[in-house]
Chains A and B, each alone.
Chain A
Amino acid sequence: DAKTTQPNSMESNEEEPVHLPCNHSTISGTDYIHWYRQLPSQGPEYVIHGLTSNVNNRMASLAIAEDRKSSTLILHRATLRDAAVYYCILRDHDMRFGAGTRLTVKP
């Protein structure tokens, strides 16, 4: 199984950008990089995914390293509602979650 490594926690100030890193040095050529987030007492929510090129959507941007061994989820302007646990996952045949990064947003 391809594995991911993320920092346990990060803090950000409201209205500032947040860069959430993820290392996946054993990624295979066909693994998509998916990001999800989970608010307290809720199911995870899809954020973004990509394969090789950087991706943007209304929620976030995903920057993927050229060697694909790491990626960064970028929240351009953090809000209090972005406080959650963010999971970086390599989509192969199943969906095993790592510990994720708990993002705290300070007003």
Chain B
Amino acid sequence: GAVVSQHPSWVICKSGTSVKIECRSLDFQATTMFWYRQFPKQSLMLMATSNEGSKATYEQGVEKDKFLINHASLTLSTLTVTSAHPEDSSFYICSATLAGGPDTQYFGPGTRLTVL
């Protein structure tokens, strides 16, 4: 089946630093990748949708200058949390859609970000 990986699986950083999270589709090409954020006991919140080679589309209320998304290839998207603060601590999850296939989403295992 289609596999999506994320790296790192967890990260702890100091307030004010930037953190990059990678999302890779391992055995398929993904035309579209999605980034979500999930706080404890809550559902996933869509942050942005990114298509390979174009700018990401951000959800209302998500700061595009703070959450930088790059989707440079059909197998890799990155999310950079710039100038991270404790309130950015969350579980970040990416998903990918199989190029040319049905719209089934394949999710990564998530990245736990803790900002001190």
Q: A87 contacts which of B43, B45, B46, B110 (Cβ < 8 Å)?
A: B43
Of residues 72 to 116 in B, which have CB atoms within 8 Å of A's CB atoms?
91, 93, 95, 102-110, 112
Expressed in whole angstroms, the Cα–Cα distance for A100 and B38 within the complex equals 13
Stretch at the interface among A18-26, A42-50, A66-74: A42-50
Q: Quick check: A43 and B104 within 8 Å, CB to CB? A: no
Question: Is the CB of B12 closer than 8 A to any CB of chain A?
Answer: no
B interface list, Cβ under 8 A from A: 4, 6, 34, 36, 43-46, 49, 91, 93, 95, 102-110, 112
A side interface size, CB within 8 A = 21
Set of chain A residues within 8 Å of B6, measured between Cβ atoms? 43
Interface of B is mostly: strand
User: How far does the Cβ of B37 sit from chain A's closest Cβ, in whole Å?
Assistant: 11
Set of chain B residues within 8 Å of A95, measured between Cβ atoms? 34, 46, 95, 105
Set of chain A residues within 8 Å of B105, measured between Cβ atoms? 34, 36, 44, 46, 95
Asked whether A49 and B43 contact (CB < 8 A) given A43-B109, A43-B110, A95-B34, the answer is: no
Set of chain A residues within 8 Å of B43, measured between Cβ atoms? 85, 87, 97-100
Expressed in whole angstroms, the Cα–Cα distance for A46 and B101 within the complex equals 15
Set of chain A residues within 8 Å of B109, measured between Cβ atoms? 42-43
Set of chain B residues within 8 Å of A49, measured between Cβ atoms? 102, 104
Q: A94 contacts which of B45, B49, B102, B104 (Cβ < 8 Å)?
A: B49
Q: Quick check: B46 and A44 within 8 Å, CB to CB? A: no
Set of chain A residues within 8 Å of B36, measured between Cβ atoms? 97
Set of chain B residues within 8 Å of A44, measured between Cβ atoms? 44, 93, 95, 105, 107
User: How far does the Cβ of B50 sit from chain A's closest Cβ, in whole Å?
Assistant: 11
Expressed in whole angstroms, the Cα–Cα distance for A70 and B112 within the complex equals 34
Expressed in whole angstroms, the Cα–Cα distance for A15 and B36 within the complex equals 33
B49 nearest in chain A by CB position: A94
